[in-house]
Structure 1
């Protein structure tokens, strides 16, 4: 065995903290994005496409990268995992921000 199971390593402590943010944000945008997509507010093709892309592609990608921490950590290392999660989170947050500006 690699070491004691409790307390968890710093990686898993940070991972759980990041999970609170990631899962809350993904749930919020899933509900908000779905409500915007189902609404009758007029919007252009770019805003509609970006809205659908963020809800259907980027939000699940963010959650999958967070969930695949153990697998990714072995392949890209601890620092690489946080860079990857940060990159996906920044792309997601930027897309959500632009979508909100275009739709409302």
Structure 2
């Protein structure tokens, strides 16, 4: 059975979102690790948020993007985009607050 070409709108948007998600995750992994190694954390809250965003939120963001087909079947297309958006906003907020606390 041949796969349909061009792919559905969902997969086209998913690929576009992937460019942003993967670029952001890679950027924060490098930037956050540099901040961590330099010991730039000014206080326990900044250090904890930096660790949490690097160890939990960044992999969660990439996993939600990667598991699109599985999640789409369970929560639907709009549910998937809402979930990806929610994880992205939480991740983005933690990165923003971490950068603000680091100074």
How many pairs align?
103
Runs of 4+ aligned structure 1 residues displaced above 2 Å come to none
Over residues 14-44 of structure 1, what are the superposed CA-to-partner deviations in whole Å (9 max), with x where a residue is unaligned? Answer: 0000000000000000000000000033510
Cα RMSD after superposing both structures:
1.3
Whole-angstrom distance in 2 between the partners of 1:87 and 1:40: 30
Over residues 38-68 of structure 1, what are the superposed CA-to-partner deviations in whole Å (9 max), with x where a residue is unaligned? Answer: 0033510000000000001000000000000
Q: Which runs of 5+ in 1 are unaligned?
A: none
The TM-score, its normalising length taken from structure 1, stands at 0.95
Whole-angstrom distance in 2 between the partners of 1:26 and 1:42: 20
The TM-score, its normalising length taken from structure 2, stands at 0.96
